[in-house]
Amino acid sequence: MGIEKPEDRSQKSVTPPNPPLGKGGHGGGNLSVNIASLKLKNPVMTASGTFGYGEEYSEFFDLNRLGAVVVKGLSITPRQGNPTPRIVETPAGMLNAIGLQNIGVRAFIKEKLPFLRQFRTPVIVNFFGDRIDEYIQAAEELSNADGVHAIEMNISCPNKQAGWIVFGTDPKIMEQVVTAVRKTTNLPLIVKLSPNVTDIGLMAKVAENSGADAVSLINTITGMVVDVKRRRPVLANNTGGLSGPAVRPIAVRMVWEVYKAVKIPIIGMGGIMNASDALEFLIAGARAVAVGTANFVNPTATIEIIEGMERFLKEEGLSDINEIIGSLKIGS
Amino acid sequence: MGIEKPEDRSQKSVTPPNPPLGKGGHGGGNLSVNIASLKLKNPVMTASGTFGYGEEYSEFFDLNRLGAVVVKGLSITPRQGNPTPRIVETPAGMLNAIGLQNIGVRAFIKEKLPFLRQFRTPVIVNFFGDRIDEYIQAAEELSNADGVHAIEMNISCPNKQAGWIVFGTDPKIMEQVVTAVRKTTNLPLIVKLSPNVTDIGLMAKVAENSGADAVSLINTITGMVVDVKRRRPVLANNTGGLSGPAVRPIAVRMVWEVYKAVKIPIIGMGGIMNASDALEFLIAGARAVAVGTANFVNPTATIEIIEGMERFLKEEGLSDINEIIGSLKIGS
Amino acid sequence: MPKNFKANITENILLNEHFRLLNLSPLSDIIVPEPGQFYMLRTGDTYDPLLKRPFSIFRHEDNTLKFLYRIRGKGTLSLSNLKSGDIIDVIGPLGNSYSAPEGDFIAIAGGIGIASLLPLLRRFKKRAYLFYGARNKDELIMLNEARSLSKEIFITTDDGSEGEKGLITDSLSDFLNPSRITHYALPIYACGPTPMLKELSKVVAEYPSSLLPLNKGRMGGVKCYVSLEEHMACGVGACLGCVVKTVSGYKRVCKEGPVFDIEEIVWE
Amino acid sequence: MPKNFKANITENILLNEHFRLLNLSPLSDIIVPEPGQFYMLRTGDTYDPLLKRPFSIFRHEDNTLKFLYRIRGKGTLSLSNLKSGDIIDVIGPLGNSYSAPEGDFIAIAGGIGIASLLPLLRRFKKRAYLFYGARNKDELIMLNEARSLSKEIFITTDDGSEGEKGLITDSLSDFLNPSRITHYALPIYACGPTPMLKELSKVVAEYPSSLLPLNKGRMGGVKCYVSLEEHMACGVGACLGCVVKTVSGYKRVCKEGPVFDIEEIVWE
Ligand SMILES: Cc1cc2nc3c(=O)[nH]c(=O)nc-3n(C[C@H](O)[C@H](O)[C@H](O)COP(=O)(O)OP(=O)(O)OC[C@H]3O[C@@H](n4cnc5c(N)ncnc54)[C@H](O)[C@@H]3O)c2cc1C
Ligand SMILES: Cc1cc2nc3c(=O)[nH]c(=O)nc-3n(C[C@H](O)[C@H](O)[C@H](O)COP(=O)(O)OP(=O)(O)OC[C@H]3O[C@@H](n4cnc5c(N)ncnc54)[C@H](O)[C@@H]3O)c2cc1C
Ligand SMILES: Cc1cc2nc3c(=O)[nH]c(=O)nc-3n(C[C@H](O)[C@H](O)[C@H](O)COP(=O)(O)O)c2cc1C
Ligand SMILES: Cc1cc2nc3c(=O)[nH]c(=O)nc-3n(C[C@H](O)[C@H](O)[C@H](O)COP(=O)(O)O)c2cc1C
Ligand code: FES
Ligand code: FES
């Protein structure tokens, strides 16, 4: 028997604020999914921080093919980020400590958004702040910008903290910041959850209750690599966030826990390298997926995943990807 | 500058309850370390559940060479464990859901301990229960057995729970069970921490305050792999515990966090495959290490790690492995 | 002679699209394997794939260990990329072995299960009635050797491209027909996919014990040994990952097996 | 012509214990690389190693891409295990390139840095004063070609086993001696380990600008371009993993570089 499907898990609204974004797959089967009021032509997006502001990878494929583009995390004021080394490879994964380097919300709107507006692909803007008012301000300015289709709050970044407050690991602080941002925006609001918590289902529930339209997970898991010769962490920032195939089993488990806990849609990510990996997330309950580290290994990973999903539908004789979302059968 | 070394982190007691257990390395440098009153000839032990009760791997090398043998987790009554599949490989790791199959404390004492008593290597017995009184009973019987040198409480196993209580993720419940066990035993008491928590430093602190002589970490991280064709978890138990190189960066980070939080010795583990990996843990603050999944890949991994540590001391011109414990330099 | 050793790959021959024959020359003295035993082979140098994979000994001669394997997933693919001169880590021989049959016997091989049974057929030449089934003709690997070693061979394929079309267990049922009374006193040795073995357990159980010359009180009276497969991590009995349900609780396929009396197994 | 493509390994030649030459035959049309540009190469099939590794184009001829590489760690080891006929994934050409020198120029190669500079020397034959330094004689790879392409060559090794014993930057300092006034107006192109480039920045900065024929207000007045190395994940500018500190903030080595004006760099 499958997991019981909470009654109103389906999209809150069916009227997209933007014009419909093209048809689903060519394979015949429908790949389009809805994340709150956002209609995606397929469930595959890019993960924040792994796709810049979209320009770099537009040399490799047509961005129109993506379900959505999620851009590098922005703050209201620009950040220069951490010193180097910022990345180190680990078994089947990598640690990064970019330190949220970004050009700031305003420069993004002025310099990068016009480029992204050329495409018929929704743009989801990832953002963060050190304080609640910074979150509010960023959300406000992004909501007024033409061409931002949804915003994703990064409250889970392990590299930057406001004093000792980690927004994404304390339910009370998370409730405050999500509630505050919810009030300032009419855009679909996605809350990106930290995996560095005891009970991710609880955190998702808090996000839902605070007004989030969707949750995305997982952000990176905090890790460290030590340079044995120098007796120092390899990363200048000491610790970094683990991503890539190494974390996938953890991410899939967390998506499943969150699926059992909330009714809002889930965007799943963490170590997705190919269509089969992406399908694991959908089956576990994700409505859409984001592809991160895989872009580095294979710049056309997202496209191959979309094509793989089309093939899967055909092979399994399914007409709609939504049939497999949350279809995990448990027990025996 | 290194992390400040809390004043009384060194061993609580220097009088071993057992006769001294042989000299350290042959390489000249001293490899022996103390975990509470337990003197180990070198810092390398086996991780519970990956080494059976010692018999299997005694075909591959002389168990006298190990720092300690840690045996498969025992409960007061035998357990048959989970149905199969119980294991699945993941990128650079594996999930297991053995379900704590074991022959029970009494059968262990009668049938397995005599074998282990032949060796000059301390035996650390990992144990668990579904209820606090089961923990107490197991600890009591193990403490009275001849040839048990320390006990390691597994409060972190993600596969078995008493109702909804997970001993190792709730500080209050953990305090209760550790305090209760502490009262029943004079053996060195090691508390094995779950990595599935928001703040592992806090959990370690609770263990310390509740009377633990040492903490060991990390246990496995809960994960899931989905069989896409069958829309089912691959493991019969749905989820399992992730171990192996994939988790190493997470484990090293957690050891470092715990090192900053407590004064009692730390036994570090999680993805240690070779001497360099083991040294990462020592530098981050572990007094000893345990080798788990690596045994499966290479039955003589522990021995190669001990030899690698000896070589490292020589190459670095160090005379004592204790010099590198917690020697991590942070900042710039 | 420790059970773990390094071995030099002398050949890694492509037999056809699916199958390869791996020849290893151990770099130190080894223990001589018995038919039915297996080895854990490391399939690459990195942590992906991480675990060794179990393979039955296919042949041991001239200090060479030979393995017949089918390319299935990541591990066997990685193994197939190794070349002569590469060194791999090996553990074995592991597990128990087929008990020696006293006279003639029945052998049942499903697909790559032939790899495990051929050493038995080689040791007891021309004493086996071999039932060999596979998906199709191409997958009947080592057919010539199998034929030459058997007293009689019965072939089935799923698609009928060679031998009978249908299930190997059906053709066994025919063979064990009560009118051919001598046959069903013969011990059976089987290796193949779990569904086949499960089906076999039914065939064996069905035989009316009253018809048997010597009824030892056994279920159906036919002595039947099966070699099982389970996911393995350690291969040496330490991890409890590879257990199978038996009438006396879980047993480790790598240690108490891989060969079990079919009566012991609780099929699920 | 997308920048990512598959390529057939035509050769992966062992030059000596440390170095290999990899020849790739792209399976689709490619963009012609410029001297100083680089490619991201996948070094194996599995997730360990996971990331591609950056390598400078060493030569492009007859539709073959050639890379000269040194075996350092996991990735280069894995690459060295690939054989002719294997297919690998490639991204490139990436990054900027060396600007064309107007007349003679100075080239400074530290170790494997020669791989990046030889295409420049090949394009501007006999116009370079080449300073080539390495640990020892064996590590002076491609010495003959380097010599034949240079106007003059100055060799240094750490152990004196070939050329001068000492630092490459010391021998450059001698060369730039104020008495040989024409030399230090020459543009410098350098590629090598970071400590060498840092040292170079000092040598360059030291030169009294008053001595220069044309003082363009530059620090020291010598025009100097360095090709930098940083850990890379994407190689295309998307991850911000490979930045270097410059006078105008962090810049991406893979995108704004790898070649930078030495004046821009803030050495740490
Ligand atoms: C005792 C024993 C003897 C065997 N002898 C042979 C032989 O002689 N020739 C041969 O071709 N095959 C043999 N096998 C099967 C062989 O071990 C699997 O085909 C191989 O492990 C698959 O690995 P993979 O990475 O290619 O496949 P994966 O992609 O990992 O999985 C493919 C399938 O292989 C099975 N499998 C995966 N990992 C394991 C594992 N660690 N242990 C057992 N099964 C696994 C699973 O059922 C899975 O569905 C034997 C298995 C056992 C237990
Ligand atoms: C633009 C550029 C051009 C290069 N050209 C060449 C060349 O032509 N020939 C050549 O032999 N080498 C070249 N290198 C260096 C080469 O990329 C590294 O030697 C290689 O990545 C090491 O990988 P590894 O896995 O073998 O070593 P690892 O074990 O990963 O590490 C060994 C050392 O290599 C460096 N390194 C590791 N990963 C990376 C990475 N992703 N990016 C950069 N450095 C890394 C680190 O400093 C590390 O200390 C170039 C590097 C860059 C940035
Ligand atoms: C280099 C890098 C930079 C990242 N930057 C951000 C960021 O700015 N904001 C954010 O919410 N997540 C960021 N992430 C996390 C990813 O969006 C994603 O959650 C994580 O990498 C897991 O997915 P993956 O395993 O597919 O990479 C970053 C990840 C990487 C690897
Ligand atoms: C097959 C298997 C069984 C395990 N059983 C136990 C157990 O009984 N008790 C326990 O505390 N930890 C158990 N563990 C966890 C290990 O002791 C160790 O904490 C974990 O595997 C991380 O180390 P590694 O990556 O080196 O394997 C088990 C791990 C594995 C892989
Ligand atoms: S594979 Fe570990 S017990 Fe059998
Ligand atoms: S390597 Fe990703 S930005 Fe340069």
Question: Does the annotation count A246 as an active-site position?
Answer: no
Query: What is residue B97's predicted lDDT score, i.e. its pLDDT?
Result: 95
- Strand extents, DSSP E, chain D: 4-14, 19-26, 38-41, 53-56, 59-61, 64-70, 87-94, 105-110, 128-134, 152-157, 164-165, 188-191, 224-227, 243-246, 249-252, 259-261
Ligand 1 binding pocket includes C229 (Cβ within 6 Å): yes
Give the residue, A12 or C52, on which the prediction is more confident. Answer: C52
With H, G, I as helix, E, B as strand and everything else as coil, classify residue C1. Answer: coil
The pLDDT value given to residue B8: 41
Least-confidence region, from B170-184, C6-20, C195-209: C195-209
Examine the pLDDT at B331 and tell me if it is beyond 90. Answer: no
Q: Taking a C-beta distance cutoff of 8 angstroms, is the pair A144, A89 a contact?
A: no
Task: Convert the pLDDT of each residue in B75-103 to its tens digit.
Answer: 999 999 999 999 999 999 999 999 989 99
**Nearest chain C Cα distance for residue D233, angstroms:** 19
Reference A49, options A179, A205, A216; nearest CA is A216
Q: In this complex, which of A83, A256, A271 lies closest to B224 when CB atoms are compared?
A: A256
CB atoms within 10 A of CB C3: 18
Do B86 and C231 make contact, defined as CB atoms within 8 angstroms?
A: yes
CB B220 within 8 A of CB B158: yes
Average of pLDDT values for A238-257? 97
Using the mean position of ligand 2's atoms as its centre, give its distance from the Cα of residue D39 in Å: 12
**Ligand nearest D38 Cα, by number?**
2
Alpha helices in chain C (DSSP H): 74-80, 114-123, 143-149, 168-175, 194-206
Question: Which residues have C-beta within 8 Å of that of residue A316, sequence separation ≥ 6?
Answer: none
Distance (Å) from CA B310 to ligand 4 centroid: 26
Place of tokens 């015949």: A28
Say what the alpha-carbon torsion angle B230, B236, B239, B245 is, to the nearest 10 degrees.
-90
Q: Give pLDDT tens digits for B272-309.
A: 999 999 999 999 999 999 999 999 999 999 999 999 99
Q: Which of A83, A244, A252 sits opposite B225 (nearest CB)?
A: A252
Q: Which residues line ligand 6 (CB under 6 A)?
A: D 232-235, 237-242, 252, 254
| Closest C-alpha among B241, B308, B299, B234 to residue B270 | B241
Q: What is the mean pLDDT of residues B177-200?
A: 95
Q: Which amino acid is at A69?
A: V
How far apart are the CA of C41 and the centre of ligand 4, in A? 22
Tens digit of each residue's pLDDT (9 = 90 or more) over D88-126: 999 999 999 999 998 999 999 999 999 999 999 999 999
Q: Which atom of ligand 1 is nearest to the CA of C55?
A: 5
Written as six digits, the tokens of A34 are 């809805």
Q: Structurally, how many domains does chain A consist of?
A: 1
> Which ranges in chain D are annotated with CATH 2.40.30.10?
4-94
* Å from CA of D80 to ligand 2 middle: 14
Ligand 3 atom with minimal separation from the A156 CA:
11
Chain A residues 247-286 with a CB less than 8 Å from chain B: 247-250, 252-253, 256, 271, 276, 279-280, 283-284
Provide the pLDDT confidence category of residue D181 given band limits of 50, 70 and 90: low
Whether A107 contacts chain C with CB within 8 A: no
| Chain D residues touching B89 at Cβ < 8 A | none
> Which residues of A are less than 8 Å from C48 in CB distance?
91-92, 245
Q: Is the CB of C18 under 6 A from ligand 1?
A: no
pLDDT of C124 above 50: yes
* H or E stretch covering A174: helix A171-184
ipTM (interface pTM)? 0.94
- Which residues are bridge partners to B291 per DSSP? B46
Give the torsion through C-alpha atoms of A35, A36, A37, A41, to 10 deg.
10
Question: What one-character DSSP code corresponds to residue D60?
Answer: E
| Strands (E) located in C37-78 | 38-41, 53-56, 59-61, 64-70
According to the model, what pLDDT value does residue C173 have?
Answer: 82
Binned at pLDDT 50, 70 and 90, residue A1 comes out as very low
Is the pLDDT score of D167 beyond 70?
Answer: yes
> pLDDT confidence of A140, banded at 50, 70, 90?
very high
Q: Residue B47 falls within a domain, yes or no?
A: yes
pLDDT, tens digit, 9 for 90 and up, residues B263-275 = 999 999 999 999 9
The residues with which A93 forms a beta bridge, in sequence order, are A90
D45: chain B residues, CB-CB within 8 Å: none
| Sheet of strand C105-110: strand arrangement | C164-165, C152-157, C128-134, C105-110, C188-191, C224-227, C259-261
A269 pLDDT more than 70 = yes
Q: Considering only the beta carbons, identify the residue of D47, D81, D83 that sits closest to C48.
A: D47
In a domain, A113, yes or no: yes
C170 pLDDT band, cuts 50/70/90, is: confident
Chain mean pLDDT for chain D: 90
A231 in a domain, yes or no?
no
Instruction: State whether A224 and B93 contact (CB < 8 Å).
Output: no
**Using CB atoms, which chains have 3+ pairs under 8 A with B?**
A, C, D
The active-site residue out of B88, B98, B151, B157 is B157
Task: Give the CATH number of the domain where residue A166 resides.
Answer: 3.20.20.70
H or E element in which residue B267 lies: strand B266-268
Judge whether residue D210 has pLDDT over 50.
no
Beta strands in B12-68 (DSSP E): 33-35, 38-40, 44-46
Per-residue pLDDT tens for B163-177? 555 788 888 889 999
Quick one: which H or E segment has residue C133? Answer: strand C128-134
Architecture, CATH, for domain C105-264: 3-Layer(aba) Sandwich (3.40)
Average pLDDT over residues B67-75: 97
Distance (Å, rounded) from C-alpha A150 to C-alpha A146? 11
| β partners of residue B41 | none
Q: What is the pLDDT of residue A331?
A: 78
pLDDT score recorded for residue D217: 43
Instruction: Using the predicted structure, report yes or no on whether residue B20 has a pLDDT greater than 70.
Output: no
The model's pLDDT over B131-164, given as tens digits with 9 standing for 90+, comes to 889 999 999 999 999 999 999 999 875 444 445 5
Residue B313: pLDDT over 50:
yes
- Answer whether residue C227 shows pLDDT above 70: yes
d(CA B175, CA B209) in angstroms, rounded, equals 8
Q: What is the pLDDT of residue C203?
A: 84
Tell me what the pLDDT averaged over chain B comes to.
Answer: 90
The confidence score (pLDDT) of residue A165 equals 57
Expressed as residue numbers, the domain containing B58 is 33-85+99-226+244-323
What is the pTM (predicted TM-score) of this model? Answer: 0.94
In sequence order, what E strands does A59-164 have? 69-74, 87-90, 93-96, 123-127, 150-154
Residue A261 has pLDDT above 50, yes or no: yes
Enumerate the residues of chain A whose CB falls inside 8 A of the CB of residue B244.
91
Our measurement of the distance from residue D11's CA atom to the centroid of its chain's CA atoms, rounded to an integer in Å, reads 22
* Predicted local distance difference test score (pLDDT) of residue C194: 94
Neighbours of B224 (CB within 10 A): 30
| Ligand 2 atom at minimal distance to the Cα of residue D94 | 1
H or E element that contains A172: helix A171-184
Instruction: Note whether C34 and C97 are within 8 A (CB).
Output: yes
User: Residue C176: pLDDT band by 50, 70, 90 thresholds?
Assistant: confident
Residue D61 makes CB contacts below 8 A (sequence gap 6+) with: none
Contact (CB<8Å) B92/A239? no
Q: Is pLDDT above 80 for C223?
A: yes
Distance between CA B195 and CA C19 in Å, rounded? 42
| Residue owning tokens 């420049």 | D120
Q: Whose CA is nearest to atom 10 of ligand 4?
A: B48
| Average pLDDT of the segment spanning C188-195 | 95
Percentage of chain C lying above the pLDDT 90 cut: 77
Residue B40 lies in a domain: yes
* Percent with pLDDT over 90 in chain B: 83
| Interchain pair B86, C240: CB under 8 A | yes
Burial class (CB in 10 A: 0-12, 13-18, 19+), B111: exposed
Tell me what the mean pLDDT of segment C61-87 comes to. 94
Q: What percent of chain C has pLDDT over 70?
A: 91
pLDDT attached to residue A168: 81
Q: Which ligand is nearest to the CA of D94?
A: 2
Using a CB–CB cutoff of 8 Å, tell me whether B244 touches chain C: yes
Lowest mean pLDDT among A84-88, B27-31, B43-47, D46-50: B27-31
Among A157, A212, A258, A266, the active-site one is: A157
User: Nearest-CA residue of chain B relative to C51?
Assistant: B297
Which residue intervals of chain D bear CATH 3.40.50.80?
A: 105-264
pLDDT at A218 over 70: yes
- Kindly determine whether residue C47 and residue B244, on different chains, have CB atoms separated by under 8 Å: yes
Pocket probe for ligand 6: among D231, D232, D251, D260, the residue whose CB has the most ligand atoms within 8 Å is D232
pLDDT at A109: 96
Atom of ligand 3 nearest to the CA of A154: 11
Task: Give the pLDDT score at D204.
Answer: 84
Average pLDDT over residues A7-30: 45
Residue A127 located in a structural domain = yes
3-state secondary structure D221-233: CCCEEEECCCCCC
Whether residue B302 lies within 8 A of chain A, CB to CB, comes out as no
Residue A186 domain flag = yes
Q: Burial-class residue C25 by CB neighbours within 10 Å (0-12, 13-18, 19+).
A: middle
Dihedral (C-alpha) B281, B285, B287, B291: value to the nearest 10 degrees? -20
**Farthest-apart Cα atoms in chain D, separation:** 58
Which residues on D lie below 8 Å from C81 (Cβ)? 45
Helix (H) or strand (E) holding A251: helix A248-261
| Interface size between B and C, measured as CB pairs under 8 A | 104
Q: What is the CATH number of domain C4-94?
A: 2.40.30.10
Inter-chain Cβ pairs, chain B and chain D, closer than 8 A: 5
Ligand 4 centroid vs B120 CA: distance in angstroms? 24
Burial class (CB in 10 A: 0-12, 13-18, 19+), A4: exposed
What's the pLDDT score for residue B131?
87
> How far does residue A89's CA lie from ligand 2's centre (Å)?
12
Distance B290 CA to ligand 4 centre (A): 10
Residue B150 pLDDT: 97
Residue D219 has pLDDT above 50, yes or no: no
Euclidean distance between CA atoms B322 and C96, whole angstroms: 45
Bond before D93 cis per omega within 30 degrees: yes
A314-318, C217-221, D176-180: which range is least confident on average?
C217-221
